[in-house]
Amino acid sequence: MEIMLFGLLAVLVIFMVINTRKRNKQMKAEQEEKAQKTVPGAKVLLQGGLYGTVVSFDPENLDQPAQIELAPGAVVEVHSQAILRVVEPTEDAEDADDEFDSADEVPAADAITDEQLPPLTVETPEQTRARLEGDADAK
């Protein structure tokens, strides 16, 4: 009985070692691919959800901050590990840009008139409180 338990333990340990080595190889390959793609001019997604364009990045020295341009003229320094991934344009985005190339296809800003909009009503704090208390009573 004890031999079976030791055998099962050995199988689990071997499985964990193999799985860890496989995951480490995969992570290293992803890091190398990201380092190759992160070149000046590449569009990237940062950890905070911001998109920007790489101004400078040193894949050899990850302690040196990367410079990312978030908007024209707005360059920020971020830790090189804050770059989540390199964003590659998709064919759908290119097709969407082609749809509105001519000025006659762009929807007019004044297409909706004031008559088509519902009337704007402002609720007072007392009305809001009464409405919310009524909702709570209904439950």
Sign of CA dihedral 45, 51, 57, 63: negative
pLDDT of residue 96: 55
Mean per-residue pLDDT over the chain, rounded: 82
Cα gap 7→69, rounded to integer Å: 56
Q: What is the pLDDT of residues 80-101, one digit of tens each?
A: 888 988 988 766 555 555 555 5
Rounded to two decimals, what is the model's pTM?
0.51
pLDDT of residue 28: 92
Share of the chain above pLDDT 70, in %: 79
R_g of the chain, CA atoms, integer Å: 28
